Amino acid sequence: MRLLSLLFPVKIGEVKSFYLSGADGCEMYSGYHYRLTLSGSGGYEAEYKQSGKPDEKAYKKQADKAFADRLCQIMKDKRTGRYNGYRKTNRLVMDGTGFGLDVRFTNGKSIKASGYMKSPTGYNDFEAAVCSLFEKLFESEINDNEQEDKHI
């Protein structure tokens, strides 16, 4: 099955839903995630939860189609369609890093992948590009939160 996804990667289409999560340790709130969901009105709802913050402190806002198109372009450029079916774990490591990716497209195709202490080739570049995209979208909220944290 995995060989087929390498030979015939999922065709990246318009995003219906995107969810990328990760954990970088075993501390409380060590997980992070990026989410984008197509809303009924044709716009998108975006969410970004930083590592070290509780789920209820996740940033949320509306995003436009241009943002979703940039996310699709990242997935195309990083050849994310080849990740479909990736599921690998290094069971010898107890407190490492892991990821989960679940993307659904309006064309009915999807990408599902996960790993613990293992990731597909090029994954770190893909994650860094997604992180940068979401951090730019939520830049003002992140800056406001950092200012609040300094005053506490």
68-121: pLDDT as tens digits: 999 999 999 999 999 999 999 987 776 678 999 999 999 999 999 999 989 999
Cβ neighbour number for residue 59 with a 10 Å cutoff: 19
- Please give the domain boundaries of the chain with CATH numbers for all domains: 2-151 (3.30.1560)
Residues whose CB is less than 8 angstroms from the CB of residue 133 and which lie 6 or more positions away in sequence, other chains included:
67, 70, 71, 74
The model's pLDDT over 78-88, given as tens digits with 9 standing for 90+, comes to: 999 999 999 99
d(CA 130, CA 80): 12
Residue 48 in contact with residue 123, Cβ under 8 Å? no
Residue 41's pLDDT is what?
83
Supply 49's token pair.
């939860």
Element (H, E) at 17: strand 15-24
1-44 pLDDT, tens digit each: 455 455 567 888 899 999 999 987 666 677 899 999 999 888 99
pTM equals 0.87
Task: Say what the pLDDT of residue 149 is.
Answer: 58
Residue 66 has pLDDT above 60, yes or no: yes
The pairing of beta strand 44-49 with beta strand 31-38: antiparallel
